[in-house]
Amino acid sequence: MAIVLGPNRYGKAEVRLVRLTRTSTTEHELCDLDVSVSLSGDLADTHLRGDNAKVLPTDTMRAVVYAFAQDEPLPAIEEFGLRLARHFVAAHAPIDTARVRLVEHPWLRIPAGDGPHPHAWIRGSGARYAGVLHGPAGSEVCSGIQDVTVLKSAGSEFHGFLTDRYTTLAPTRDRILSTSIEARWRRPRTCTGPTDWDASFRTARDTLLRTFAETHSLSLQQTLYAMGEAVLAEQAELAEVRLTLPNRHHYPVDLSAYGQENAGEVYEATDRPYGLIEGSVRRDDAPEASAELPWE
């Protein structure tokens, strides 16, 4: 039985990039990114014989990220990722496929006496994500959010579930529901033409948050589906939404040992173990995503 080289790729992970756009002497714009590049193609020689003639150093990948950030004001991270991916494939013949992952960390302007400060920020919560794949079949992009922690103190139930002799969880018709949203949405490769990535991102993010808040939840699974369905209903060009929702449990504390009654006001918040709800919502006529698309 022969031993052969399987699928492989290599790259530079988590290049830290801060891009400052000086719109005036005092008014600045800030973009804070982690950028990861991964390349694949005709690279068997380096694995099998240690021949690096077709290997682009990962240090060069890092340099390209910084150089492309300087060329012009930084576009939406999806567009920036597409430019990087297309460059690596076009510039180096042994490379046929490039994957780029981008995470944008939010910074909020610090309030000043007469409005937001023009060049001082405080780091916000949550992050914007983009995953780009460019190869022989063309380009494919997914966008998303991650580490967006949300909570609703009413409008959530959980009952009627399967039980066995190990079940101790009591059913409830009133509970705190909290999760940290990781969501991804994608366009099919057949979707061509210019895209307003920023507007699409804002719409999807706002739809996810609004649906979480407004859906009367009988389970986090039901909420997941409602969130994905709402995003697809509002943006016809999107093909699929994938969601990962860890259940950030909040348990009422039993105060009876202290002679007190807890009327749903005091809770213990636990970070582990936690329920993990994952799922996708897609159009039934949409083409499948490429297996190489970097969802994470």
Residues annotated as part of the active site: 12, 58, 249
Within 8 A by CB and 6+ apart from 199, the residues are none
* 217: DSSP letter: B
**Structure tokens of 210?**
């609004």
Upper half-sphere CA count for residue 15 (Cβ side, 13 Å): 25
Collapsing DSSP states into helix, strand and coil, what is residue 32? strand
For 46-96, the DSSP string reads: HHHT---TTPPPHHHHHHHHHHHHHHSS---HHHHHHHHHHHHHHH-TTEE
Within 8 A by CB and 6+ apart from 36, the residues are 11, 12, 13, 14, 15, 100, 101, 102
Q: What letter represents residue 15's amino acid? A: V
Judge whether 13 and 5 are in contact, CB under 8 Å: no
Question: Which residue from 45, 18, 51, 20 is spatially nearest to 34, judged by alpha carbons?
Answer: 18
Question: Which residue from 223, 186, 192, 221 is spatially nearest to 204, judged by alpha carbons?
Answer: 186
At 258, phi and psi to the nearest 5?
-105, 10
- Tell me the CA distances in angstroms from 181 to 33, 55, 277, one per residue in order: 19, 38, 10
What's the CA gap between 124 and 108, in Å, rounded?
A: 6
